[in-house]
């Protein structure tokens, strides 16, 4: 039996594929390489270059492999871009997502681990954020993911689709072979380290008057390898007949943008110059998880997600891969 991983050439997807292979699972990847890298996927893994909304292709993959379950990472995932170009997000994440889940059900696949996000909570009333917190996203990216959560829930009731929607907080860090590399990059950790490497003269800090102690937004950073492990646990949970669920993946600890930059100065030993800009539309002030349910339901506990380890792993990876991934 095979696991279909969409977005498996992307950042979190490629690390999850690496972990699945290490556990002896059979995997196939579907990715359109809009944001991913072919060389991030082991050459031994069957790779389909295409879009998740292509029902014919999804039916073909299901016919060519005995697909037992799917891990659905494929999505556009930049908050700022979703504010300036919402159509891209609703078309790619939602319209294609609807087609994709429909094609999977037609092919008889009824288990899915879905990449959701803390962006579905919007500006939380209370921190840490539990899964019961109201969901009212602050940006089209969050809405596209929340709509997919609602779709999965409805499809469970009507068609018996069993899923675990994992609401990641901020993924960061690298494994030995795989790290975060996007062009353009909008995430803080790779951008801070690019400045530390001298690739950029300074790193942008978007907004210094948020209602937080130092005025910069606070986020909960989770090591990408810990995230990958949660997907393995979620697949096992579904295999054992677990009920559909929505689970936060975070550490319960938040760091401000300035704290991340200070930690990066210590880890790299390099001065990192900042440039303060206006706040980005769609950015909440504080997103920190209450991860208790993921621990209770999946037995998941992050082990690599302290901030210095996260930064050190991505720093080491970038040194080994100064140009990121080979061009596709």
Closer to ligand NAD by Cβ: residue 95 or 156: 95
**Distances, alpha carbon 315 to alpha carbons 194, 293, 311, in Å:** 9, 31, 6
Question: CB under 8 Å to 20, separation ≥6 — which residues?
Answer: 3, 5, 27, 231, 232
Closer to ligand NAD by Cβ: residue 119 or 209: 119
- Is 12 one of the binding residues for ligand NAD (CB under 6 A)? yes
- Is 219 one of the binding residues for ligand NAD (CB under 6 A)? no
Closer to ligand NAD by Cβ: residue 16 or 216: 16
| Least separation in angstroms between CB 167 and ligand NAD | 7
- Is 280 one of the binding residues for ligand NAD (CB under 6 A)? no
Using CB under 6 A as the binding rule, the residues of this chain from 92 to 151 that contact ligand NAD are 92, 96, 115, 117
Report the alpha-carbon distance of residue 270 to residue 1 in Å, rounded. 48
Report the alpha-carbon distance of residue 27 to residue 44 in Å, rounded. 10
| Least separation in angstroms between CB 263 and ligand NAD | 17
Q: Indicate the Cα dihedral angle 204, 210, 215, 219, nearest 10°.
A: -70
Residue 273's SS3 state is: coil
- Is 20 one of the binding residues for ligand NAD (CB under 6 A)? no
Report the alpha-carbon distance of residue 89 to residue 78 in Å, rounded. 9
Instruction: Report yes or no: 164 and 242 within 8 Å, Cβ to Cβ.
Output: yes
Closer to ligand NAD by Cβ: residue 30 or 289: 30
The residue from 17, 58, 74, 174 that contacts ligand NAD (CB under 6 A) is: 74
Residue matched to tokens 């031994």: 44
Q: What is the DSSP letter of 289?
A: B
Query: Is 141 a known active-site residue?
Result: yes
Which of the following is catalytic: 89, 121, 141, 168? 141
Q: Which residues bind ligand NAD (CB under 6 A)?
A: 6-7, 9-13, 30-36, 51-53, 73-77, 92, 96, 115, 117, 168, 170-171
Catalytic residues: 141
């Amino acid at each position: 039996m095979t696991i279909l991983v969409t977005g498996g050439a992307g950042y979190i997807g490629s690390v999850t594929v690496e972990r699945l292979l290490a556990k002896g699972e059979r995997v196939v990847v579907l990715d359109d390489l809009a944001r991913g890298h072919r060389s991030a996927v082991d050459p031994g893994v069957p790779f389909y270059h295409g879009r998740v909304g292509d029902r014919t292709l999804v039916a073909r993959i299901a016919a060519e492999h005995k697909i037992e379950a799917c891990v659905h990472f494929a999505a556009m995932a930049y908050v700022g871009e979703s504010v300036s170009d919402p159509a891209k997000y609703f078309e790619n994440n939602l319209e294609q997502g609807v087609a994709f889940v429909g094609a999977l059900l037609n092919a008889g696949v009824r288990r899915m681990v879905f990449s959701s996000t803390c962006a579905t909570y919007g500006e939380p009333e209370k921190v840490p954020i539990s899964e019961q917190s109201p969901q009212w996203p602050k940006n089209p990216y969050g809405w596209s993911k929340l709509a997919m959560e609602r779709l999965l829930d409805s499809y469970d009731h009507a068609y018996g689709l069993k899923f675990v929607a994992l609401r990641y907080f901020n993924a960061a860090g690298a494994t030995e072979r795989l790290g975060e590399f996007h062009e353009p990059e909008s995430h803080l950790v790779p951008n801070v380290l690019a400045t530390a490497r001298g690739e950029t003269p300074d790193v942008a800090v978007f907004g210094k008057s948020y209602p937080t102690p130092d005025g910069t937004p606070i986020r909960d950073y989770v090591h990408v390898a810990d995230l990958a492990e949660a997907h393995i646990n979620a697949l096992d949970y579904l295999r054992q007949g677990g009920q559909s669920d929505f689970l936060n993946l975070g550490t319960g600890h938040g760091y401000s943008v300035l704290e991340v930059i200070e930690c990066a100065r210590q880890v790299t030993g390099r001065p990192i110059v900042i440039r303060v800009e206006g706040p980005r539309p769609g950015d909440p002030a504080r997103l920190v998880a209450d991860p208790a349910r993921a621990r209770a339901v999946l037995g998941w506990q992050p082990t690599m997600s302290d901030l210095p380890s996260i930064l050190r792993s991505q720093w080491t990876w970038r040194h080994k891969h100064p140009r990121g991934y080979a061009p596709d």
